[in-house]
Amino acid sequence: MTETLNYDVVVIGGGIAGMQASLDLADMGFTVLLVEKEPSIGGKMFLLSKTFPTLDCASCISTPKMAAVSHNPLITVWTYSEVDGIFREEDGEFRVKIIKKPRFVDEAKCTGCEQCEDACPIIVSSENNFNLIGRKAAYIPFETAVPKIALIDMDHCILCGACERVCPADAIDFLQKPKTVDVRAGAIILATGFRLFPAERKKEYHFGEYKNVITAMQAERLLSPTNPYNHVLRPLDGKEPMNVAYILCVGSRDRTIGNPLCSRICCMYSIKQAELLMGALPLVDVTIYYMDIRAFGKGFEEFYQQAKEMGVRFVRGRVASIDQLDNGDLVVNYTDVENGGVFKKETHDLVVLSVGIWPNPDVAKLFKDERLELDEHGWIKQTEENIRPNATNIPGVFTAGCATGPKDIPDSIVDATSAAAECADYLRRIRNKAVGVIPVEVR
């Protein structure tokens, strides 16, 4: 049996863009259901170290937003929930079918005390730390997770019952089942963000095989206040790296893997990480191998120049491949573009791949009665980019943040605020015209 609930807007995706759009809509008096597929809201931002070019603490910005969303009386947050289908009703409203996945923990009872996590004997790779460390089968996704409620990973649980025995709230419920809920809404905001380029596809860089070749997202974790090792260490042997290389444009501007686009943020996040590395490890050498440095935003050029002054070495070159030495150090083979295209080799003890931003094209499959248009690269198409940048080809469906293409955090926030304004305007127009009895201002 399914129940039907009503909201003005369903926002899909609880990253910084989805959170900002939800807060703005709630400020205008609309009711919002924010649906996030992961166990916590926050998206990629709450996993970052600091933000370029100001070096503000990323979690210090995202954590209050996460709290504001969860405490807003007009916003309902469903985490660990999948949208199964979006349908158009006869009256023009949407019906969104959502599956609330079982946490095997009673959300109403769990206090987030972490005792189940301590007791659980099973350790698997931690998704939020990009496999740098493990997590338990019974776990809370993150210290600052919202909601701070445990869940059990049934793919790995051995049903030993240790969590159930220690839980002081009697919250463990191995019999929980998925719950399907139908929600009606006047409009939808797609804030489904991006996925990271799967670095193993660049076989010549041996990510996943050479342990000291890591992605920039793993480097973010190593540089964050919640660093899984409490220090910057290389994964293979726990040695402090002394000579780190960054390779830019991994999975971007590369027709050999099908993505000619620039990811817009990788130059800047790599420069940021280089500066943070120098702060964390004062004796470290950092080399950035690049094609062009794209420092187009406010304060970006100054940030780039500052990195050079700090001693970050910029080498204009194409990295052809990486080889591993017996001690785990890595030989970077590259063409030195600025010095006549000479082929060179250089040894580093850690290599960071500055992976690109890729689309989540599966979002189009959510629409069952209409076809959501994507652009040629798989991003949601902005059908009226110059006049209504948040509109899609489907009336009543808007986009926010990186769902339409790579953006940094400030641009994602601005885009989300713009999406909320477009969406509010749409709701006022259709409801005043079609229904004529819902003056939004007095609700």
Ligand X SMILES: Cc1cc2nc3c(=O)[nH]c(=O)nc-3n(C[C@H](O)[C@H](O)[C@H](O)COP(=O)(O)OP(=O)(O)OC[C@H]3O[C@@H](n4cnc5c(N)ncnc54)[C@H](O)[C@@H]3O)c2cc1C
Which residues contribute to the site for ligand X (CB under 6 A)?
12-18, 35-38, 43-45, 48, 51-52, 83, 191-194, 196, 216-217, 220, 265, 269, 272, 360, 363, 401-402, 407-410, 412
Q: Classify residue 118 as left (phi > 0), alpha (psi -120 to 50) or beta.
A: alpha
Out of ligand SF4, ligand X, none, what residue 408 binds, judged by CB under 5 to 8 A for its kind, is: ligand X
Instruction: Please enumerate in sequence order all residues whose Cβ is within 8 A of that of 442, keeping only pairs 6 or more positions apart, or say none.
Output: none
Tokens 């080399």 label which residue? Answer: 287
For ligand SF4, the closer CB: 77 or 167: 167
Here's the x/- map for ligand SF4, 171-200, by CB under 6 A: it reads as: xx----------------------------
Which single residue is written with the structure tokens 């050079």?
308
Helix (H) or strand (E) holding 60: helix 58-71
Contacting residue, 116, 214, 312, 391, with ligand SF4 by CB under 6 A? 116
Under the binding rule (CB under 6 A), the answer on residue 152 touching ligand SF4 is: yes
Beta-ladder partners of 139: 151
DSSP string, 253-302: SBGGGTB-S--SSHHHHHHHHHHHHHHHSTT-EEEEEES-----STTHHH
Nearest-5° angle of CA 274, CA 276, CA 279? Answer: 115
Rounded Cα–Cα distance for residues 21 and 413 (Å): 8
What span, in angstroms and rounded, lies between the C-alpha atoms of 46 and 41? 9
Of residues 124 through 143, those in contact with ligand SF4 by CB under 6 A are: 137-138
409 interface partner picked from ligand SF4, ligand X, none, CB below 5 to 8 A per type: ligand X
**146 forms part of the interface with ligand SF4 (CB under 6 A):** no
Minimum Å distance from CB 96 to ligand X?
Answer: 10
Residues 412 and 401 sit within 8 Å (Cβ to Cβ): yes
CB of 101 to ligand SF4, least distance (A): 16
Residue 171's binding partner out of ligand SF4, ligand X, none, with CB under 5 to 8 Å set by partner kind: ligand SF4
Closer CB to ligand X, 48 or 116, in the complex:
48
Instruction: State the nearest-atom distance from the C-beta of 112 to ligand SF4, in Å.
Output: 5
**Closer residue to ligand SF4, CB minimum distance, 120 or 268:** 120
Give the N- to C-terminal CA distance of the chain in Å, as an integer.
Answer: 31
Q: Which stretch binds ligand SF4 (CB under 6 A): 109-117, 360-368, 402-410, 413-421?
A: 109-117
Between helix 58-71 and helix 16-27 the angle, nearest 10°, is 40
Q: Which is nearer to ligand X, 336 or 411 (CB)?
A: 411
Which of 161, 208, 395, 439 forms a contact with ligand SF4 (CB under 6 A)? Answer: 161
122 binds, among ligand SF4, ligand X, none (CB under 5 to 8 A by kind): ligand SF4
Name residues whose C-beta falls within 8 Å of residue 309's C-beta, 6 or more positions apart in sequence: none
Residue choice 96, 110, 413, 420 for contact with ligand SF4 (CB under 6 A): 110
Distance (Å, whole) CA 235 – CA 133: 9
Among 67, 123, 159, 325, binds ligand SF4 (CB under 6 A): 159
Q: Report the C-alpha gap between 361 and 404 in whole angstroms.
A: 10
Q: Which is nearer to ligand SF4, 150 or 353 (CB)?
A: 150
Q: Beta partners for 133?
A: none
In the complex, the residues that contact ligand SF4 under the rule CB under 6 A are 105, 110-116, 119-120, 122, 137-138, 150, 152, 157-163, 167, 169, 171-172
